[in-house]
Amino acid sequence: MGKVIPHSLFSEFDINLFKAGKHYRLYDKLGSHQIEVNGEKGTYFAVWAPTAKSVSVVGDFNYWLEGDHKLNVRWDGSGIWEGFVPNVGQGAVYKYKIHSHNYDMKTEKADPFARSCEHPPKTASVVWEDDYKWKDSAWMGYREDKNGLDRPYAVYEVHLGSWKKKNEKEFLTYTEMADELVAYVKEMGFTHVEFMPIMEFPYDPSWGYQLTGYFAPTSRFGSPAEFKLLVDKMHQNDIGVILDWVPSHFPEDAHGLGFFDGSHLYEHPDRKKGYHQDWKSLIFNYGRNEVKAFLISNAVYWLDQYHVDGLRVDAVASMLYLDYSREDGEWEPNIYGGNENLDAIAFIKELNEEVYKSFKGVQTIAEESTAFPGVSKPINLGGLGFGMKWMMGWMHDTLTYFKNEPIYRKHHQNDITFSMTYAFTENFMLPFSHDEVVYGKQSLLYRMPGDEWQRFANLRLLLGYMYTHPGTNLLFMGAEFGQSSEWDFETSLDWHLLQYDVHLGVQQMVKDLNNIYKSYPALYEKQFSPEGFQWIDYGDHEHSVLTYTRKGHDKKNDLFIACNFTPVPRENYHIGVPKSGKFKEIFNSDDEKYGGSGMLNTTIKVSNTPWNGQEKSVRINIPPLGIVIFQ
């Protein structure tokens, strides 16, 4: 029979905070912690299981036998079981065997607060602590400046399992990515990376969006310390790190959070509020204080322990609405008769309040696909408090427009201009994400019409248009060099395509766009303000041409952009400008180095002829399926 020494890391104040749902550092208390008690080294275990009759720690140190190491329930009604087990330390593998009062049933669960997990398909938790020595103090010191809403955000979205593989089979490790991925992102000029979920998950085809180990970086690529190294190296190279975070749902896997202690502990007990039919997963009970504390503690954990710079919150729309993807009769209105999930809304506000209060220079970004008002407005102004929101409408309308053969685009000009009617209602991030290159949608390149030349020209135009549209930018890996096939999570990106000039040209262009975006304040200083954008002419339907201005704080840095959405060259195209001076072409997507035809602008003279409501005008060449930027 093993021994469990009574011990607690909880003060009465901790317990009161926990019960009130206001303890946002639960990872310091719950889970497994290597400590010393009365001169003995071992591990303190603590787990929340309020309906349990008994809880035992089972593991490789007691032959997985229930009862050898029984935890003690606290006397204060918190539902926390705890105790110190001597001689259990780093790397020990364990689970909780929970005997419930409900139905006299037993469950064997991974630790919800485990900082490390076994490599899937194994499902146990691992005792883990590290004393990683961070070397990113410079970044953390000036991050607030780098990460502000008036700074450039050119985000490279990455699925770590398929960015690049060894021998087309083996994953790169966190350590290898700290060299290869960091060097690539830096060379390409992206300001941030966004990792699709890296928290432990059991099922590869879920891409990480069905989490079971909320506090553990997946062991597929290495240890928690090695993931810290990857983040650290990004920071040392001035690259911010955003993590996809999934507080919206979790899988029903037997070792996970579902029916944890024989009761609906983490999930809402009402299936109309607690089960996602689309994803066959469970929904958190946002109205339960301890669950709110679990989720907010988890968000804080990644910002605190892993120095991450932002959280992109997945599937926010599914949290906000009680009738999300439900038919009549499958949901019930809130107390006011509406379809809003009031508990989830309160949780989101509390989350954002805590994150922005406790961490300087971080951002939360909502993946939210509806017109819910004020997603990225401050809470004190009636908003949800996110820093940014994905602009799903822009993404959908833009790709719909580009799908049209150029000859028909003149009939669909509204699709490409409509976004400007609501572009400043939120702080929008423009996403061409992984969701747009799967499930038969094809790659961005092959969503473009025309022959090969036109496909590549359209893709270059699409990306140039994204970078000059108000808002921040996100591009899924592979699009930056014109990946031709759909994304497949099981295989590496098609890096071999870079032996071809057309793909190399797209890659060079994205690199140049990133550097232009970072170098010209007109593209970012007022990216969320109507003062930062002005149409020159959006009405030239017949030629499918758009012209507009991007503005920063200093008028002399204004940029003038012209897009030609047809393969017909527009020579001596007349556009109005507000002032005299030198006009210089700083970018042309038709440059031969990008794979274009080389229709460039050399000398541009300003005329005193008024045009487009402006006092003066210039005549420029706009290449076929091209975008040009002038300063």
Are the beta carbons of 207 and 489 closer than 8 angstroms?
Answer: yes
3-class DSSP assignment, residue 280: coil
Q: Nearest to residue 256, comparing CAs of 245, 243, 244, 265?
A: 265
HSE, side-chain direction, 13 A CA sphere, residue 274: 16
How do strand 125-126 and strand 93-100 relate by DSSP bridges?
antiparallel
C-alpha–C-alpha distance, residues 411 and 419, integer Å: 17
Residues 6+ apart with CB under 8 A from 354: 24, 296, 299, 300
Q: How far, in Å, are 175, 191, 208, 242, 301 from residue 362 at the CA level? A: 25, 14, 23, 9, 13
Which entry of 244, 309, 314, 480 is annotated as an active-site residue? 314
Q: How far, in Å, are 188, 451, 547, 619 from residue 591 at the CA level? A: 18, 19, 19, 19
Q: How far, in Å, are 52, 374, 396, 445, 541 from residue 399 at the CA level? A: 52, 25, 5, 11, 18
User: What angle is formed at CA 266 by the lines to CA 262 and CA 267, rounded to 5 degrees?
Assistant: 90
Known catalytic residue at 367: yes
Numbers of helices and strands, H then E, in the chain = 12, 31
Three-state secondary structure of 174-206: HHHHHHHHHHHHHHHCCCEEEECCCEECCCHHH
Are the beta carbons of 127 and 117 closer than 8 angstroms?
Answer: no
How do strand 626-630 and strand 559-564 relate by DSSP bridges?
antiparallel
Known catalytic residue at 314: yes
Q: Beta partners for 428?
A: 389
Query: How many CB atoms neighbour CB 525 within 10 A?
Result: 20
Burial 294-314 (b: 16+ CB within 10 A, else e): bbbbbbbbbbbbbbbbbbbbb
Q: How far, in Å, are 403, 537, 540, 542, 622 from residue 406 at the CA level? A: 9, 19, 14, 11, 15
C-alpha–C-alpha distance, residues 83 and 249, integer Å: 30
Burial classification of residue 236, based on how many CB atoms lie within 10 Å of its CB (0-12 exposed, 13-18 middle, 19 or more buried): middle
Which entry of 367, 368, 436, 480 is annotated as an active-site residue? 367
First to last CA, the chain: 78
Residue type at position 220: R
In sign, the C-alpha dihedral spanning 282, 285, 291, 296 is positive
Catalytic residues: 314, 367
